[in-house]
Structures are given as structure tokens and as C-alpha cells.
Structure 1
Amino acid sequence: MKLIHLTDTHFVKRGERLYGLDPQERLVACIADINRHHADADHCIITGDLTHWGEAEAYALLRDCLTGLVPPVTLVIGNHDHRPTLLRHFPTVPVDPHGYVQQAFDTPEGRFLVLDTNEPGSHAGWYCERRQEWLARQLSESDGAIFLFMHHPPFDIGIRPLDRIGLRQAADFQEIVEPFAHRIRHLFFGHVHRPVGGSWLGIPVSTVRATNHQCWLDFDAAGDGDIAGSHEPPAYAVVLVDADRVIVHPHDFLYAGPRFGLGERAVADSRGAPLPAAE
């Protein structure tokens, strides 16, 4: 199975810019690259912050852009999103019995659980008792492999201003998930606008840079300080899954520099010859 993971599209109204960048322009380029190289992907999942201000026009613009994406797409809600407006513009997005943007669906490699950590008025993640009950039920009813998709990571990543707006009920979340950790093959998240990978409770975890702006890697920032942004290049991840592996390949889709062979002749030529431009 091939999965495309992208995150934090942060759409604004048509023609507007965000932190000096055009989110629509970035996503259009991302979609073109996916369609060119990974049209065979089984799923594409966007892990939240679909828009920046939760505006109706931004969701409409995002919906129009996503119609050009060849692989089927699944949307995750983030802290910058507005749940009623999201659902109004994407009426086929599933919700749980309490109206949260949560769903479970089975794939040949396991069950995908899509979680809702949105809390109106807060940039921190929130996972209330109703959502916890839904997750506990989904985990207990499945006896196979599980993949989790959520916006807020349920653990600290070591960058204090970002950890300040992490998941508030992290301890409760851990208590629910830990008994099933041996069956959770991967947890994909967004929110931090950084390439991050590792493990939590023995569960492999990962995220990639956002499609628009990024958060700077700053381990010295104070917990009550501002989050430092950057224009580091955007990325998406190509995830290859089968019975024995989950391999995550982050890809800087806007890179336009040289590409060249690494054989002996190429090394010799590179001593004095200019490198060829990328296709």
C-alpha cells in the first residue's frame, strides 16, 4: 500500500498570502507533484489545519483545489479549523455519533483511525471523554493492525512553545492507547510544521513539514515565548506499507536544484564540470 501524508495546508481566501506565502499556490504545486509521481497511491491524508482562519471561502478554495488530486483524500481536523464550516464544505467527511470529525475504515494493511483533537477557541489539542470513549471502542473492537492519524501529537516533541499547545489530555490518551500499542503500527500527526520521527510507547511516529510555512527548530525557546516561523521548503511524505514494513519518505516537492549520478564518472566530472539542472 502506498500512502501520501501531507499536513497543515493553512488555506486563506483566494489571492491572500500567509506569512508572505500563497497556500493555494503551494498546494497546487504539491498536488501536481503527487499526480505526476504517485497517482497510484491508495490514500492521501491531510493531518489538519486545513485552513488558517476557518473561513468559508478558504474551505471552498481548498475543496476546489483537492478536486484535482488523483488519489482519494481523507481530511483530519486541526486547531485552526472550524468544525461546522469544514463539514458544510465537505459534507461527505464522516463524523462520529457526537459530531466529531472521527472515522474508522479498514484497508488491506489494517484499520485507519482518524481522530478529532479540535477545541474551539484553543490552539492546544483537546480529546474529551466522548472522543476517548469512541477511540477506546474502536481499538477494542479491532484485532488487527492499527494506524492512527491526528493533528496534535499526544506527546512532547522537545520544542517548548509547540509543546505548550500540545494535547491537553495526553495522560488520558496514553492510558487508552497503551494496552494496544503492540498493534499500532504507526501514528501520523501534524501541527508542528517540522520533520519529526521517533517512537512513543513503542509506537513509531512521524510528521513532515507543512505545505505552506514552517516552525523553526529552536530548542532554546521559552515555553511562554512565541513560535518561531520559517520559509524552509514544504514537503509531503510517501509512505510504503506492507506486512513487514512502514517506510516514510519525506519529499521536498519544490526542490528545483541539480540532480546527478553518483558513480565514479560523475564524481570525476563534477570536479570541474557544472552539474546538470533538475528536470
Structure 2
Amino acid sequence: MQKILVFTDIHLVPEGETIIGLDPLARFAQGMAHALDHHPDAARVVLCGDLSHNAAPPEYARLRAALDTCPLPVSLMLGNHDRRAPFLGAFPDADRMDTGHIQHVTDLPGYRLICLDTLNEEADDTHSGWLCAARLDWLDAALAGADDRRLIVFTHHPPIDTGFKGMDWIGLKNRADLVARLNTAGNVAQIVSGHIHRTIQGSAGGIPVAIFKSPCHQMPMALGYQDSSLSIAEPGAYGLLLLTDEGVIVHSEDFTLPPTEAQTYT
């Protein structure tokens, strides 16, 4: 069994600033410490976009400093709050395509992890996602090269509606193109996304979809609301994927809950 740690929607802000009274960097550091303490045998950490809140260079510099001591390999992805130029200023090696798109593949025994760049910097609504022809072509090649491995596809914007109307409005606009390609591949075991700031399970074309919460601020359980900026100080979380011979097992860990001692019951 292999483990993958997933953090999404970190939203780092400049030093001294907060989001609804929460310090994103402190929350992320707390979550990473918890994850590394409980799962030091993880194969990799995936940061699933919205690394910064304002796409400002100092925010990416803070992230780089926070990751300097991480003992595990890290896959970095972009979300709607990110921008490629300032991100690449702090992480110049992250442009694996040499096109400015932050997409990459990691092969593990029996599995291939595919991280997609759904950021649309030209979106009229500012925050929706899009996969252009170049990115979809790259995906086709990544899918075709997986051989007999199971595939796990990571996106910031989920490929499904979630019931939160404001967030769904700024979702992945051409998700049908993505789902069609994944279904054609035939060996996609799991899609993992962020963006919504809630723990959600769903299905895209029959493929399981797991959406994880932020380590910082969450979307309140307000189905149907149009406002995509609603936030609440619920427990922060990270995701844990267990890659087994039978398939993918998905867990979510609320790491900010007070520690409690396990007890037996009869």
C-alpha cells in the first residue's frame, strides 16, 4: 500500500495578514506537521492549487520557505487564485512542459499520478477553469503512456457540479472534454480536486471524484447560494490516498480538532 498526502486551497497571504481571522501559513504548517508525523511513509505530497491568495511573489516565497524542510517529494499545482509568472519566479523548475503550464506526471508502482493545470488567467469571471488544446493534448499523451498502471488525475477545479451554485459557476468550463478523454483511457481509478473548500464525493462519467477541504477556511454548508466567497472557520483538513492492489481508498483528516484518546467500547 502506498500513501499520497493531498493539500489544497492553502491561500497563503503576506506576513501579518489573515483570512477570516485565520493564518493560512500557520494552518498549513500545522497540517503538514500532523501529516508527516502520522504518515512519514507517504510517497508524495500533492498541493492541489490555490497556493496563494493574491498571487503575490512574497506569498510564493513564503510557500517555498515552508516546503524547504519537507522530507517528501512535492507536486505543485495551480488554482484560480494563482498566477503562473509569479509562481514560476519562486518555483522555476515547476514548468515541466516548457510552455508555462504547470502539469506533470509521477509514476509509482502500479499507479500514475497526473497533475493538470486548470488555471484560466483570461477567464471573464476571473476564477473559472479551462483546459486548452495544448493541455488536453498533453493529457492524451500522459494517459496513453501509462501502460497497465491505474491513473489518478488531479485538478484544481472539479469536473462535477457540487450544489454550491457560486462555486459551480466558476468551475471547470470544458469538463466534458476532460471526462471524455478519461473515459476513453479506461483505467482512471480516481479524480482528486479542490476549489470548493468542502469534503465532497461524486462521480464524473462513472469515475469517482474526491474533493478535499482547505487546511484554512471552508465553504459553509449553504447549498444553492450564489456567493463563492462565503467562508467559515470549520476544522482544517488534508486528504490521504491509499493506493492498493484493489484500487484507491480516500480519507480526509480534520487535523485541527482537539486531540482525543481512543477508547474501547462494549
TM-score range, shorter chain: over 0.9
Structure 2 unaligned blocks of 5 or more: none
Find the aligned partners of 1:226 and 1:54 in 2 and give their Cα distance.
18
Measured after TM superposition, the shift of residue 215 of structure 1 is 0.7
User: 2:42 — aligned with what?
Assistant: 41
CA contact (8 A) 1:98 1:130 kept: no
The answer to whether 1:138 aligns with 2:148 is: no
CA contact (8 A) 2:13 2:53 kept: yes
User: 2:233 — aligned with what?
Assistant: 231
Deviation per CA, 1:37-79: give whole Å up to 9, x if none: 1111101101000000001001001111112322221111111
Find the aligned partners of 2:28 and 2:44 in 1 and give their Cα distance.
17
Measured after TM superposition, the shift of residue 257 of structure 1 is 4.8
CA contact (8 A) 1:31 1:68 kept: no
**In the alignment, which of 144, 152, 155 is matched to residue 147 of structure 1?**
152
User: 1:100 — aligned with what?
Assistant: 101
**Pairs within 5 Å for 1:241-260:** 241-260=243-262
User: 1:277 — aligned with what?
Assistant: none
SS at match of 1:197: strand
Find the aligned partners of 2:228 and 2:107 in 1 and give their Cα distance.
40
**In the alignment, which of 213, 221, 225 is matched to residue 221 of structure 1?**
225
Q: Percent identity, aligned pairs only?
A: 34
Structure of higher RCO (CA pairs closer than 8 Å, 6+ residues apart): 2
| TM-score calculated relative to the size of structure 1 | 0.89
- Please tell me the residue identity of whatever aligns with 2:13: V
Q: Against the structure 1 CA distance between its residues 19 and 238, is the aligned structure 2 distance closer, same or farther, given a 3 Å change threshold? A: same
- Please tell me the residue identity of whatever aligns with 2:151: I
CA contact (8 A) 2:4 2:43 kept: yes
- Please tell me the residue identity of whatever aligns with 2:157: H
Q: Against the structure 1 CA distance between its residues 258 and 37, is the aligned structure 2 distance closer, same or farther, given a 3 Å change threshold? A: closer
Deviation per CA, 1:154-187: give whole Å up to 9, x if none: 221121111000011122222222212x300111
Structure with larger Rg: 1
194-203 vs 42-51, which moves further: 194-203
| TM-score calculated relative to the size of structure 2 | 0.93
Find the aligned partners of 1:119 and 1:85 in 2 and give their Cα distance.
15
User: 2:166 — aligned with what?
Assistant: 161
Measured after TM superposition, the shift of residue 15 of structure 1 is 1.7
Q: Against the structure 1 CA distance between its residues 244 and 54, is the aligned structure 2 distance closer, same or farther, given a 3 Å change threshold? A: same
RMSD value, Cα: 1.5
Find the aligned partners of 1:91 and 1:220 in 2 and give their Cα distance.
40
User: 1:194 — aligned with what?
Assistant: 198
CA contact (8 A) 1:198 1:204 kept: yes
Measured after TM superposition, the shift of residue 247 of structure 1 is 1.2
SS at match of 1:205: strand
Measured after TM superposition, the shift of residue 97 of structure 1 is 4.1
Measured after TM superposition, the shift of residue 151 of structure 1 is 0.3
